[in-house]
Structure 1
Amino acid sequence: MANQGKRYMRMTDPEPEETLLPLWQKLCFAVGGVPYQMTTTVIGFFLNIFLLEVAELRPGYVAIVLFSGKAWDAVTDPTCGFLVQRTRTRWGRLRPWILFSAPFAVSTYFLLFYVPGKYKEEIEEGRNPTTDISMEGRLGYYLVMFCLFEGFLSCLHVPYTSLTMLVTTKQKERDSVTAFRMVFEAVGVLAAVVIQGQLVADTRCNGEEDIEKKRTIQDMIDQEWAYRTGSFIVVGLYLVCCLTVFFGVKEKEPTENDAQETTGFFAGLKLVFSYGPYMKAAMAFLFLSLAVGIVQGNVALYCTHSLKMGGSFSLFVLVLLSISIVSMPVWQCIVVRFGKKKAYAAGMILLIPTFSSLMYIPEKSMAAFYVVIVFAGFGISVALLLPWSVLPDVLDLFMLEKKTRQDAIFYAFYVFFNKLAIGLGLGLSQLALSVGGYKTGECHQPSSVGETLRLLVTPAPVVCVLIALIFLWLYPIDEKRRMQIRQDILLYQERTQPPLDASQATMSYESITVPAAATTSNDITHL
């Protein structure tokens, strides 16, 4: 009897295909990830060198701007998540935030790459031209613009990432739209480097300038206009993508079991920071983002002053991110074969020897650096794909255990942890450059700056990756547990959904062979 199958009579929906999202709607949703990735990529790769080389702020002031802007997200991200959770409009809860915050975000982003005042010649000591606004005045300007932009960016990214849970109620479809989103986000990263990188490549220092070379006012104006032109293109794409999401995505009303309770702000904080699986996933993401952020924020200066190949920086990053995109299907196959947690760990482990090798690459060794870039591309692909892929599993587990959803708050803090890591990486890097003797506005830098940059891109990122691996090891949702969560979600939905009326359902008979002892998630087909 144990080997005999059982015949079940199943009530089925006459149109089950309606539960699947059409391809065009998945694409409309996916393009919404482009604005965040484009702007944060430009900020991560180019804002620090813009502030150092064009706005001519001291490294210590650059650290204040970059870290304060990200630390400000400690307020804006959770607050945005709290407000989104309470929003009710005829267009839904999430999409209005994406659309109506866009004009403010693009305005502050454009002004972020504007140099206030007029350039003037500095006769004394043969210094480069500077503006007629004091350095403290420029510090205040960029601090305000950066904080404003980060706040408005939260109004896009928090509701957009939360939209994953409301664009469909099916976990398989959520995984599918997340995969589409990750591909488009990678394309956004690539587009940012192509647009901004190619525009500024011919206007900035390459690391081989003569010590006596002095930049003219026209050089400074040309470099500023290169950044400003790039920002104009980025804000145009930002607006198009937001409009596409608003008009192309249908925000579903949450089902009874998906409905999110409205809780107080501090009660929401307690839920986030007291839920172990979420905190382990978030800490792994934070330290991985910190490692990548340190390298990302310094790679332009590293190529310029450590490798003396600053002129090829944009090409290096283009190759790096192209490999990241191409390798995404490979990692997706690894996820299917071995599970998310093991694939996540493999990508992190790959980054350890990659970052370590940056310490020892000789000057002008282009071939050696390209080899490192190839391995780095595979590792960065995991950083783009897996952290966001594990979060829906955590939220489903939370719903099963607490019988409520708080997706907006969880996503808000996930975004915040990512931004905080990038801000910490950039801020600490600028402080290290200040100690290393960086000279603001100068093309030729002392050898101590090159050595400082080598130290920045190797020991600290490696340590951060190791800490991220520890948190991932503690993360409780392996592939077997994930399959069990999927099965429990289906059972929970069946118990909580209202019974079908006889006139709205059809009767079908299916032979389903079920072993007598089969009660685990192994009965569910793997993604």
Structure 2
Amino acid sequence: MNDSAANSDAQRDPANTKLDLKTKLAYGAGDLGPAITANISIFYLLLFFTNVAGIPAGLAGSILMIGKIWDGINDPIIGLLTDKTKSRRWGRRLPWLFYGAVPFGIFFFLQWIVPPFSTQQSNNIWPLFWYYVAIGIISQAFYTVVNLPYTAMTPELTQDYDERTSLNSIRFTFSISGSILSLILSKIIFSQIADRQQRYLVLAAVCTVISVLTLYWCVFGVRDRVMAFEAKRIQAEEAPSIPFGEQLKIVFSNRPFLFVIGIYLFSWLGVQVTASIIPYFVVNYMGLEESDIPSVLIAVQVTALIMLSVWSALSKKIGKKLVYCLGMSLWIIAAAGMFFLQPGQIGLMYVMAVMAGVGISTAYLIPWSMIPDVIELDELQTGQRREGIFYGFMVLLQKFGLAFGLFVVGNALQASGFKESVAGQATLPIQPEQALLAIRIAVGPVPTVFLICGLVLTYFYPITREMHAEILLKLKERKER
């Protein structure tokens, strides 16, 4: 085929045209808002419940567990609905972001309010508990409304194996930048505002505004590319619709998909358990101030941000699987180092944080670069594209695992004798030795177990670059018949 014919084909098939930088940046911006809110919640919400709202650690973990379980349940529902959404102006995914952005921001903010009835008798904690459960459920629902359709757009923007890794690299550059921005904001706000409750309220308000604005940047920035793909998809003849129960069978009979959700589950169990316990490790074990928490987390996230481009380039040479194994190995070493750290070894703590950041960047990049390949294997086998349901079930199982992990961490702290603050209390209580040991175990051995499980699954993951190229070739041949 000559160059003019190739160019003509590219014009007819927008999915095969290289993405311009403007579209890539707009797509990346769509993950900045959810990343800011998610990371603030991961790093601080458990701490906020125990040290500001005065909720016992076990109940605080239960609040997070209930929210995550509901978050997981609504993922495949929203995913299926986005697959069936029809809009001539916005396509299948973008209406959910457009209409969901503002309520998403509002209910995220409401999680950080300590309502007036919290000042009632200290033994009547249940009104406060149910307030946070209700707000958490609604907030998680709107998080899914904006985030799941966003993630499901990746296969609709490009079908190129390596460009997907590049696109996800830009996406997670924004994601980690959002996390770093939220931590910088928290450091500034924490150092300027003495009242702990007021700190979190101001931080939540600033992050809410940024989150909503960046979601709209994404909506308007990728619309042309998404609608070009949508026009092509509608024009193509698709196989008859498959009942939901049959779709479940197809999803869970897709062997590579099972590997991907396992890899993602164990990676993010390691990430989120570590992130939720780090504030306790810094303040209660290492003896630093609450305002020092962002500095440690920034060291992790800046390193992860820098390493994204490195891992992305390296994956083109040695493959996604080997990149993941290298990153996780470094993280395991860092987790072991954190467990053996002693109070006062601040420099070593930052060294371990940087090493963990090198590994964490592969947990961001690799699983999300694998899932589009799985979706195209399913299209080859069934004749249908079901990005929504695959992304939905991937995130559902991941969130069930996270819900269990957060529940265990919260209850382990409570069982070890961790002392929560009383709402409005100026100073933090002194923690017993058993509670400090539980914090060290949660920051070291627990994530290590998860990461080793992810490494085992990655070793057996079957889709290679060559296999993916063969899948795309067969799909192209089918469409040309």
TM above 0.5, one fold? yes
In the TM superposition, what whole-angstrom CA distance separates every residue of 1:183-230 from its partner, at most 9, and x where no partner exists?
111111111222234423576xxxxxxxxxxxxxxx6xx211111111
Partners of 1:358 and 1:148 lie apart in 2 by 36
Partners of 2:419 and 2:302 lie apart in 1 by 33
Q: 1:75 to 1:175 in 2, by over 3 A?
A: same
Query: Is the counterpart of residue 439 in structure 1 residue 433 in structure 2?
Result: no
Partners of 1:260 and 1:178 lie apart in 2 by 29
Instruction: Give the structure 2 partner of residue 89 of structure 1.
Output: 87
Instruction: Give the structure 1 partner of residue 267 of structure 2.
Output: 288
Paired residue type of 2:201: R
SS at 1:20 equivalent? coil
More divergent stretch after superposition (389-398 vs 274-283): 389-398
Contact between 1:164 and 1:174, CA under 8 Å: does it hold in 2?
yes
Partners of 1:411 and 1:402 lie apart in 2 by 17
Instruction: Give the structure 1 partner of residue 75 of structure 2.
Output: 77
Partners of 1:141 and 1:34 lie apart in 2 by 27
Bigger proportion of residues as helix: 2
In the TM superposition, what whole-angstrom CA distance separates every residue of 1:317-346 from its partner, at most 9, and x where no partner exists?
111111111111221232122101111111
Give 1:12's match in structure 2, choosing from 6, 9, 13.
6
Instruction: Give the structure 2 partner of residue 178 of structure 1.
Output: 168
Query: Is the counterpart of residue 458 in structure 1 residue 439 in structure 2?
Result: no
Instruction: Give the structure 2 partner of residue 304 of structure 1.
Output: 283
Identity %: 26
Partners of 2:137 and 2:220 lie apart in 1 by 29
Q: How does 1:110-125 map to 2 (within 5 A)?
A: 110-117=109-116
Give 2:253's match in structure 1, choosing from 274, 287, 298.
274
Partners of 2:372 and 2:239 lie apart in 1 by 15
Q: How does 1:45-444 map to 2 (within 5 A)?
A: 45-90=43-88, 91-117=90-116, 134-200=124-190, 222-249=195-222, 250=224, 251=226, 252-253=229-230, 254-255=232-233, 262-311=241-290, 312-441=292-421, 442-444=428-430
CA RMSD in angstroms comes to: 2.4
Paired residue type of 1:298: I
Partners of 1:114 and 1:188 lie apart in 2 by 22
Runs of 4 or more above 6 Å deviation = 7-10, 130-133
Partners of 1:360 and 1:258 lie apart in 2 by 60
Paired residue type of 1:263: I
SS at 2:153 equivalent? helix
Q: How many residues align?
A: 463
Instruction: Give the structure 2 partner of residue 127 of structure 1.
Output: none
Give 1:470's match in structure 2, choosing from 434, 444, 456.
456
Contact between 1:260 and 1:406, CA under 8 Å: does it hold in 2?
no
Contact between 1:178 and 1:389, CA under 8 Å: does it hold in 2?
yes
Contact between 1:117 and 1:131, CA under 8 Å: does it hold in 2?
no
Paired residue type of 1:46: Y
SS at 1:358 equivalent? helix
Structure 2: runs of 5+ lacking an equivalent: 422-427
Query: Is the counterpart of residue 485 in structure 1 residue 464 in structure 2?
Result: no
In the TM superposition, what whole-angstrom CA distance separates every residue of 1:465-504 from its partner, at most 9, and x where no partner exists?
1111121122112xxx322322441353244147xxxxxx
In the TM superposition, what whole-angstrom CA distance separates every residue of 1:336-387 from its partner, at most 9, and x where no partner exists?
2210111111111222111111111010211111111121110111111111
Contact between 2:73 and 2:396, CA under 8 Å: does it hold in 1?
no
Partners of 1:78 and 1:200 lie apart in 2 by 38
Q: 1:13 to 1:119 in 2, by over 3 A?
A: closer
> 1:268 deviation in Å?
2.5
Give 1:27's match in structure 2, choosing from 16, 19, 25.
25
Contact between 1:199 and 1:230, CA under 8 Å: does it hold in 2?
yes
Partners of 1:316 and 1:8 lie apart in 2 by 55
SS at 1:327 equivalent? helix
More divergent stretch after superposition (323-332 vs 194-203): 194-203
Paired residue type of 1:92: G
Partners of 1:449 and 1:286 lie apart in 2 by 27
Q: 1:20 to 1:433 in 2, by over 3 A?
A: same
More divergent stretch after superposition (311-320 vs 263-272): 263-272
Partners of 1:445 and 1:9 lie apart in 2 by 70
Partners of 1:9 and 1:168 lie apart in 2 by 21
- Compute the TM-score of the two structures, normalised by the length of structure 2: 0.90
In the TM superposition, what whole-angstrom CA distance separates every residue of 1:432-489 from its partner, at most 9, and x where no partner exists?
1001111110432222221110111122111111111121122112xxx322322441
Q: 1:14 to 1:402 in 2, by over 3 A?
A: closer
SS at 2:349 equivalent? helix
> 1:267 deviation in Å?
2.5
Structure 1: runs of 5+ lacking an equivalent: 1-6, 121-129, 204-218, 499-527
> 1:275 deviation in Å?
1.4
Contact between 1:52 and 1:440, CA under 8 Å: does it hold in 2?
yes
SS at 2:217 equivalent? helix
Instruction: Give the structure 2 partner of residue 522 of structure 1.
Output: none
